[in-house]
Structure 1
Amino acid sequence: MNALQQEYFRQKLLRWRHELLREAGVTLNSLSAGGITEADLTDRASVETDRALELRTRDRARKLISKIDQALERISNGTYGYCEETDEPIGLRRLEARPIATLSIEAQERHERMEKVHRDD
């Protein structure tokens, strides 16, 4: 991967990270805006369900930010774009679709097949 491609993915990852952090800030502001004021039990349950869903979504985003940080570190140390299992280059199309990918498509498929085999036991 050349320097221009690395910079493209670095910028893409930074934009993605910034957007996730912005969304987390919006969530934090809305959750800290106050308690549940709905008197009706059904409305209250609906609001609580919505908040729980939002918190699960933010937890997933937190984990994704960690993976983005790891990808940015791999760009810094020159290992970005190479499969962790085979050391073969990960295709640009795969990185475009999933910039945090650490496995080539073939290695990912093997991993998923093994996971399925062991899950079925």
Structure 2
Amino acid sequence: MKSEVFLPEDYQPVEDEPFMNERQTEYFRRKLITWKNEILAGSRDTIEGLQDGTRAIPDVADRASEETDRALELRTRDRQRKLVAKIDQALRRIEDGEYGYCQVTGDPISLKRLDARPIATMSLEAQERHERREKVHRDD
């Protein structure tokens, strides 16, 4: 069992401390859990809204508009479901001690990048190379 890590409320990871020390790891773990909980709460609200919104709308244009809105909402929720899976993967990487390191190069991912995108699995340089290769192959 791991001991509780003290983390001041205003803590921000900084480059001059050891990379992925206990405080940084706890900071990102909490950030990921909070993000996941916000997404799940939004999903519950959407499901309730969709269940409440099943009513007969006589006007064809209004019905079509509502169906379009619902389809968009469901697509958004599907993207968020995939995001929750990525958050879970990041939390597993924290548990395994692999979080914060590029899966391509093994180098540390910058703290700024992780703070902006805590589910990042590649350093900015590796991600840019990956996207350039993807673009080249897409243009074929």
Give the TM-score band, short-chain normalised: over 0.9
CA positional deviation for 1:11: 0.3
Letter in 1 for 2:41: R
Distance 1:103 1:61 in 2: 20
Please point out which of 95, 104, 114 is paired with 2:133.
114
Normalised by the size of structure 1, how large is the TM-score?
0.98
Q: Is there any run of 5+ residues in structure 2 with no aligned partner, and where?
A: 1-19
Per-residue CA shift, 1:11-42, capped at 9, x if unaligned?
00000000000000001111112523221111
Q: What's the TM-score once normalised by structure 2's chain length?
A: 0.85
The CA deviation string for residues 55-106 of structure 1, in whole angstroms up to 9 with x for no partner, is: 0000000000000000000000100000000000000000001000000001
Verify the 8 A CA contact 1:10 1:75 in the aligned structure 2: yes
* Paired-residue identity, %: 64
Q: Which residue of 1 aligns with 2:15?
A: none
Matching of residue 59 in structure 1 with residue 78 in structure 2 = yes
Return 5+ residue gaps in structure 1 as ranges. none
> Does structure 1 residue 91 correspond to structure 2 residue 114?
no
* One-letter code aligned to 1:2: N
CA distance in 2 between partners of 1:78 and 1:34 (Å) = 45
> Larger % of helix: which?
1
Deviation >6 Å, runs of 4+ = none
Alpha-carbon RMSD = 0.7
